Structure 1
Amino acid sequence: MPDIVQDRFDAIVVGTGITGGWAAKELCEGGLKTLVLDRGRMVEHIRDYPTVNMDPWDLPNNNELSREDKKNHHKQLRLGWAPKEDNKHFYVNDLQHPYQETKRFDWIRGYHVGGRSITWGRQSYRWSDLDFEANLKEGIAVDWPVRYADLAPWYDKVEQYIGVSGEKLGLAHLPDGQFQPPMGLTCPEIALKTAMSEKFDDQRILTIGRVAHITDNTSVPEGRNPCQYRNRCWRGCPFGGYFSSITSTLPAAERTGNMTLRPNSIVYEVIYDDQTKKATGVRVIDSETHQKLEFYAKVVFLCASAMASVGILLQSRTPRFPEGLGNEFDQVGRNIMDHHYQLGATASVEGYLDKFYKGRRPNGFYIPRFVNLDDKTRKRDYLRGFGYQGGASRVNWKVSVAEMQYGEALKEKILTPGPWEIGVSGFGEMLPYHDNRVTLSLSEKDQWGLPQLDFDVEFKENEYKMREDIIRQIVLMYEAAGFKNIQPYENDTGPGLGIHEMGGARMGWDPRTSVVNQNNQMHAVPNVYITDGAFMTSASCVNPSLTYMAFTARAASHAVEQFNKGIFS
């Protein structure tokens, strides 16, 4: 069937997640008629949260997946803690959406409007010049063409809009932001914080996580409400207490009257005009009808998620770009990164049995990076650094099951919270390696006839050396705090499980060694912007979503300015 030519727009945004929502909002508010495409089904705030008010006893199989669902989610289940019965609908069916692994890569995805902004961990941290300058100073990969000062006002804009709660620390390597009131720490967390400050002299600090939840009742964005401390965020929040694109940025775009949203639209190619040397639109397959369509616009934003955007570029082949759009120097699909985690330690905490907490805090504590900051904290066997995320809480009544009690004694035991436990996971930076790459499979296709992605990505010596230190240092901190029954752990894992996959179309000064410039425009096709994780030149060790959003807002502002000057005409 021949392609069907559809309407023309000023801009097209591919993807509706963390970055797609921001691109849509900024472009629409800038006056551009914008088509927003998502390959997945429509999800509407509140209406499409089917398990949002269910209690544990309402969920079958103790919230575990059935055998059939486990087969359907066999790669998503590598996470360990998700998907569950209460949120399986926000994770892809792996049998319907396969990919290839030359080396193991745990690609965790959600194909629906809102994407992973519905299920993300909401941890929101700024980068610093320690991150932006590391490649240059260490001679790794290529230099970032931006510095913290370029991004700081955009961090301000994003934080003020989405609502980020947290504590100001005054750390140069973890800049403070525009914070709403911080959530509280539990007693064992305060004990660990005190022990760290008293027994270590290398800038070890514990703080409450900086998280995209509204905590200020006097400052509530339109259509949202403060966090209710239910800790059911992975099901979707009916109150809009945490940031997601379907509660925040997409409704803002819709209010302008400039947005057209089309779900079930698989973008597989950017249309390129060899005469004008510009993109003219995108080619789409309707996921339900398999019908092919074309949509035209003067500006295209790729926000499909890092690996999906890379796949679109690789499939966009023309006489000028026979190996994929912007891939004339073999840079598209290379330098794939993630954060390595799935390692840390648990421990028992004695005492504090007269203390408890109110609500279910949807957050944990954070220990910022304290290695390789300066000569004093320099590690000689690996580069970069890591942070920790964790939490301490009381064990619930289930411990009484083994007590062999009955009657009044059993009732009292069930109503008494158990002892305190603490757990911590490390998030370490992964270096950008040229041979860590994703390509199009030469033989395997999906149900729409598109080539599957094939991952050839691995951790290397620097990551494994760092992982050893991540475990070593948290054990030392637990011991300093006097915690008991310390149990280090390191799960079988590979890149991808951090769910922070990035790279593949990195930012840089030189078109021969990078794909996009300092404004997130493709060097070779400047009316195509890439603002999801694909543009990342290095990974830092903090959660990247806040940085993605800040870069997206900045790039969209640049695109509106260029559009209004007629540069894309």
Structure 2
Amino acid sequence: MANIAIDAQKEMTFDAIVIGSGISGGWAAKELCEKGLKTLVLERGRDVKHIEDYPTATKNPWDFQFGGKIPLEQQQEFGARGARIQESTAHFWMKEKEQETVLEKPFQWTRGYQVGGKSLLWARQTQRWSDYDFEGPARDGYAVDWPIRYKDLAPWYSHVEKFSGISGNRDGLPQLPDGEFLKPFDLSCVERHFQKTLAANYKDRHLIHGRCAHITAPEEIHREQGRAKCLNRNLCNRGCPLGGYFSSNASTLPWAEKTGNMTLRPHSVVHSIIYDEGQGKATGVRVIDSETQQTSEYFAKIIFVNASALNSNLILLNSTSSRFPNGLGNDNGLLGKYISWHNYRGHISGRSEEFQDMMSTGKNPSHSYIPRFRNVFKQETDFLRGYAVGFGSSSRAVQFSRGGIGEALKANLFDRTLGPWWVSGWMQGEVIPIETNHVRLHETLKDKYGIPQLVLSCDWTENDDKMVLDYMAQMTEMFEKAGFTDISARDSHSAPGSDIHEMGGVRMGLDPETSLLNKWNQLHSCKNVFVTDGACMTSTATQNPSLTYMAFTARAANFAVEELKKGTFD
């Protein structure tokens, strides 16, 4: 009988375990498998195979039963985000009953539970951080100092950019370092006009092409992945059959699979990480099968936690032992604290009366972008840090009427009267992490798997409010200088988390007394556990975070493999 138990444990033992298959988990799988490690990838949702599991990818508008919308009763199943979820992508969003939570304060936690996670649904914007971002906490004293600087991550940014395929321009801006770019998408005539207006009126404000994870000119590494050029279909969140944009499903997971070293296990809800007191390290992961409710344990020498920021916090908080009664690695009591996100509350719209003899043709899966210009080189406002701005434009000519019947319909279809261009902008502000913004486990309430429900207790601060006011004032001024009319700037007062960029709770730092992770994304007090998704973030900067997660993950995985070879984790 003893031999049977030993053989069974061998079958459940791997070199590495990766929790989560989204943007960061996919990269962990790729790097570890590529280096020869037998790797188990655990995903709590269903399997989604590239191309064959994109049921709406090629559907026409008239193929949808409800014209693209989902019925009200189905919207309610998705919670606060339900009204914005389309019929074409509803199958990739999580319904609230799958994982109930306790909202101590309003918070919009958006989840996509399937193989690939939210890499099937992201906005694909990819900007590098600069030292102005990594040094932010040290300069103003909010949060703790990052244990790394730009030079530490720069080669890993290049590593993931070359593989993923990032389009953009080399703009030479110190606050937004250039990367390994494919050719950018075009700016519209209005965007070029706004670009020139900013250059003429400001020294510190620049409108550039949005850098995005779309293949505009495939290179050999992309062809090896089986991916093709983006055709600007703008149906990205349905899943791209071409692999034109980066997702785990189209890129990193198939790459890991072809090594023969990856075992992918969907329907695997991670309960906790197993800590062995005698060995002084984590030895495996406890998993509940979402279909059978059976509990299993898997074992490995190294564990990567990439379950998405808040779920990674939940797993670590639920991983208790005599050594760690308050959660794995939580010697300082800071696990789950200093949760942050991005501030998307500011919006502006207007129109341009110029260029009425022009119209846009084709589609653009990206948009233009104004990098952060507030408090970059010095503190100049009554709020800390700053914001970036997304900017878009569209011509009325592509919005001609399809209404009417018979002759009226025919007239409307042929009426291509050119009118004004509509312009819009949205902020992406840096939210300062504070200790009271936190998540924790509920003392009695459990979800349907018997795992404690996560309590979310996060709110805006005065700093966020001031930033929104500044955004509206500055953008109104910039729109006026560009000659735009009918300008409307507003605060959406959306709940925290609406940006889908949750970060923190397991932050990196130099001091184990004030942080959970070291410069290699290892838990200070449990070195064979790595956290490289949004949970690791010490501060948020203003850039879209996914590229930084990818770079952190590749860097940490390669370090882990080297340490494994040295016998560090034996």
Look up the match of 2:73: 68
Pairing 1:148–2:150 present: yes
CA contact (8 A) 2:400 2:413 kept: no
Residues 127-146 of structure 1 aligned to structure 2 (within 5 Å): 127-146=129-148
SS at match of 1:526: strand
Pick aligned residue for 2:184 from 182, 185, 190: 182
Look up the match of 2:90: 88
SS at match of 2:96: coil
Matches of 1:478 and 1:60, distance apart in 2: 40
Residues 78-477 of structure 1 aligned to structure 2 (within 5 Å): 82-201=84-203, 203-219=204-220, 220-222=222-224, 223-375=226-378, 378-395=379-396, 396-398=398-400, 406=408, 409-413=411-415, 415-416=416-417, 419-477=420-478
Paired letter, 1:124: T
SS at match of 2:12: strand
CA-to-partner distance for each residue in 1:423-459, whole Å, 9 max, x for gaps? Answer: 1100000001011100011232111111111111111
Seen in structure 2, the aligned counterparts of structure 1 residues 527 and 216 have a Cα distance that, compared at 3 Å, is same
Look up the match of 1:50: 55
CA contact (8 A) 1:504 1:534 kept: yes
**1:343 deviation in Å?**
2.1
**Mean Cα displacement is larger for which, 204-213 or 131-140?**
131-140
SS at match of 1:11: strand
Matches of 1:93 and 1:417, distance apart in 2: 42
SS at match of 1:568: coil
Matches of 1:173 and 1:84, distance apart in 2: 36
**1:412 deviation in Å?**
2.2
Look up the match of 2:536: 535
SS at match of 1:63: coil
Look up the match of 1:487: 488
SS at match of 2:471: helix
CA contact (8 A) 1:133 1:147 kept: yes
SS at match of 1:556: helix
**Mean Cα displacement is larger for which, 187-196 or 53-62?**
53-62
* Pairwise CA RMSD: 1.8
TM-score by length of 1: 0.95
**Mean Cα displacement is larger for which, 87-96 or 107-116?**
87-96
Give the paired residue count: 560
Seen in structure 2, the aligned counterparts of structure 1 residues 492 and 210 have a Cα distance that, compared at 3 Å, is same
CA-to-partner distance for each residue in 1:281-318, whole Å, 9 max, x for gaps? Answer: 00000001000000000000000101001000000010
CA contact (8 A) 2:347 2:492 kept: no
Gaps of 5+ in 2: none
CA contact (8 A) 1:440 1:451 kept: yes
CA contact (8 A) 2:358 2:418 kept: no
CA-to-partner distance for each residue in 1:369-413, whole Å, 9 max, x for gaps? Answer: 1111224xx433101010101210123445575999937643422
**1:519 deviation in Å?**
0.3
CA-to-partner distance for each residue in 1:481-528, whole Å, 9 max, x for gaps? Answer: 101111112213121111110000000111111111000000010000
Matches of 1:85 and 1:418, distance apart in 2: 31
Matches of 2:119 and 2:411, distance apart in 1: 45
Identity of aligned residues (%): 47
SS at match of 1:434: coil
SS at match of 2:481: helix
Gaps of 5+ in 1: none
SS at match of 1:136: helix
SS at match of 1:388: strand
**1:329 deviation in Å?**
1.1
Pick aligned residue for 2:31 from 26, 33, 42: 26
CA contact (8 A) 1:135 1:538 kept: yes
Paired letter, 1:335: Y
Matches of 1:499 and 1:192, distance apart in 2: 28
Matches of 1:75 and 1:263, distance apart in 2: 27
Seen in structure 2, the aligned counterparts of structure 1 residues 468 and 62 have a Cα distance that, compared at 3 Å, is same
